[in-house]
Amino acid sequence: MKLHLIELTQTTIYEQLLLEEALLRADERSFCVINYGAPRAIVMGLSGIPEELIQLEHAARDKIPVHKRYSGGGTVIVDEQTLFISFIIAKKDLDIIAYPEPILRWSFDLYQKAWNLPNFSLHENDYAIGERKCGGNAQYLRKDRWMHHTSFLWDYQEKNMEYLLLPKKRPAYRLDRSHNDFLCKLKEFTSLETLVKNLKAELVKRFYIERVSPEELKEIQSRSYRIGTHSLDL
């Protein structure tokens, strides 16, 4: 299978989500998007209710942008220390059942083999080290294609978690733990550069890798397609 690899740095999460939508809706090939160094922002799932998930007054006061992505999933605050990895796959290209759980298990196996992190585990819809979350996932399934994207916490500023409210709907393994008691930092185990390098090495084992030029990305985004990602006016 051919996988088209796109590496971004310091690209805002809003720009990344717009690019993902173009790749998902306006192209037929399979892609992997890697991004890190994005500035701080809050990202919600498409059906999230801002008043129930975000300290809106604090976010507005500190001029933190809030975006709704085109996919489902929970609410996260991201920054320069977040590692984003997205797979946009044509169903014909990968021999797995294109439903949420098989896709999640496929991606977990890939990261487990690539990174060999101690006690790396899959808890409900999250990646974790033991009982502490290190990566959150969201998916979007179409007739012939699917998308699976993850925000990995290589590091984070604990004060940033104050912008998020404790969600009413949360995974059972979280219990009532605060954000800082529930999360862990991958920098305690390895460097960001090593995570990216080892992921690419694992992808080479599984796929024929082809790069995509900036000019080609611009051409894809110039095509006509529906856009679901949008920003909130606080």
Structural domains in the chain, sorted by start: 2-231 (3.30.930.10)
Residue whose pair of structure tokens reads 């790396």 in the numeric block: 120
Q: Where are the beta strands (DSSP E) in the chain?
A: 2-9, 31-36, 41-44, 66-68, 76-78, 82-90, 120-123, 126-129, 132-141, 145-153, 208-211, 230-231
The per-residue pLDDT for 42 is: 97
pLDDT band at 79 (very low <50, low <70, confident <90, very high): very high
The per-residue pLDDT for 160 is: 93
Q: Specify whether the CB–CB gap between 140 and 70 falls below 8 A.
A: yes
> What is the model's pTM?
0.95
The three-class DSSP label of residue 144 is: coil
176 has a pLDDT exceeding 90: no
Residue whose pair of structure tokens reads 């009532």 in the numeric block: 176
